[in-house]
Each structure stands twice: as structure tokens, then as C-alpha cells.
Amino acid sequence: MATLRDIKRKIDAVKKTSQITKAMNMVAAAKLRGAQQNMERFNPYALKFTEVIRRLAAGVEEVGSYALLARREEVKKIEVVLITADRGLCGSFNNSLITFAEKFVHGKQAEGLDVSFTAVGRKGADYFRRRRYDVRKRLIGLLNKPNYEDASTLGLELVEMFETGTVDEVYVVYPKFVSMVKQVPTLVNILPIVPETGQEGMEGARREYLFEPSHEELLTDLLPNYVHIQLLGFFYQSAVGEHAARMAAMENATSNCKELVKSLTLTYNKARQAGITKELMDIVGGAEALK
């Protein structure tokens, strides 16, 4: 049985851990507010940009004349951009993304396709590199402060790989932000770009637009920007999801520490009372022996 000193030491250690988890919860909450504000300000622009691009692309008669719209007849190699966090202590956030991506990759490899990774985030990069997957590039720190420059740098590289035929398709695995307690691993095919379909897409294609410069020049210039905007949106959602997951995880950890302290305190009091009772019994026994 543990001594009183051991139990007291455990109580002190758990209390210190509780202080750390509480501080991490507060830091995550502060970062979450800023990241969420940035995401909410960016979303209207991204949605409208996406709507315009897909409607313009839906009106293209010869898709093959635009490299980013052309689908390959035979797909041999794909690139997967996996977005995870650089750090842990955020519950199942990283693990769910890694498991989702690994399942997708296994399916593609079973079809005989060659798969390589662009790992945005230390956790995903380390996991797949240890398991000897083809991690083509490793990007760290992008989610600390998502910005257009980082998104465009990565976007230009992916566009160049697609245009030169190095890869035939580009996918992104990211945590879609649904709510503060729910981030869903999501797969998006960003290259080739898929024009808008359905009734809304047909209506957009039938509309008459005046282009300056020409339709072709406009699309050629805007299509790469569409990829950059998509990536930046994924970065924003991933950053918000990471902070929300870490805040929830640290809140649960703090609550568990409090429960553990209560349990250890009860054990400590029981052991202390048992020690006092034993000492009293020894005193009473000694007194009886002296009679």
C-alpha cells in the first residue's frame, strides 16, 4: 500500500499538471478567437471566387485547351496534400486525419497508382516518413499564421507538377470545420479543376458576360489563383480546427485532473485515518498491558 508521503506527492504532481492543462486551454482559446475571425472574414470572398470560377469554367467549350481543367485519360500518379498540426495534445485531431489519409492511399495503391505526399504539419509528415511512404515535401509552421503567400507558393508548385505531367491528380486531406467540437476529415480533388455542374452551373454557362481581357486570358490567369484560394481556405479551417480540438482536449484533461485529485485526497484521508486508528490501538493496548 502506498505511504502517505507517496499519495501526497501524487496529489501535488496532478495539481501541477492541472495548472499546465488549464494554461494551455486558455492559450488555445485565445488563438482560436483570432483564427476563427480570420476564417469568417475570408469565407465570403472564397465562396464568391469559387462560384465565379466554376461558372466561367462551365461555359468553356474546349476543356482540353486549359491545362488545369483537362482530365488525364490514364491516371498513374497522384499527389496528396495532407494537412495536420505541428504539435499534439489536441485529442484525436491528428490521428483521425492520418487514419483517413492512410485509408485513401491504400485504396489508390491497390489500384496500382503511385502516391506521394506533401505533408503540411509535423505530425502527418513524421507518421508517413517513419512508415517509409513517399513524403515529397514537408512544410512546418504554415498553420501558425495562415497567409496567401504560403498558399500561393504551394499552389504554384502543385500547378507546375500537374501541368508538366509529374502528377495526374492532386488531392487535399484537411479537417473541415463543422463546429467547435466537430472537425471532419475531408478529401477534396483540387486538380484538375472540376467545372460547376447541375442546374445552377448550366444557368451560369448560359449567361452572357462581357470579358476584358478575353475569356481565355481571364481563365488562364484566374485558374491558378483558384487553387491558391482553395489551399488558403483549407489552412484557415485546419488552424481553427486544431485550436478548437486542443482547447477541448485540455478542458477534458483539466477536469480529469480535478477528479483524480478528489480520488487521491479521499485515499490520502482514509490512509491517514487508518494510521491514526492504529496508533490509538497501540496506545490503548500499551495502557491495558500496564494495568
CA distance 152 to 143: 14
Give strand ranges (E) for 88-234. 114-120, 135-139, 169-179, 182-191
Q: Which of these is catalytic: 83, 90, 135, 249?
A: 90
| 4-8: long-range pairs with CB below 8 Å, 24+ | 4/268, 4/271, 4/272, 4/275, 7/264, 7/267, 7/268, 7/271, 8/268
Name the 3-class secondary structure at 60: coil
CA distance 268 to 285: 26
Indicate the pairing of strand 135-139 with strand 114-120: parallel
Cell of 94: 491528428
List the one residue out of 46, 28, 11 whose CA is nearest residue 251.
28
Burial of 290: CB neighbours in 10 Å, binned 0-12, 13-18, 19+: exposed
- Whether residue 90 lies in the annotated active site: yes
One-letter amino acid identity for 140?
Answer: I
Active site residues: 90
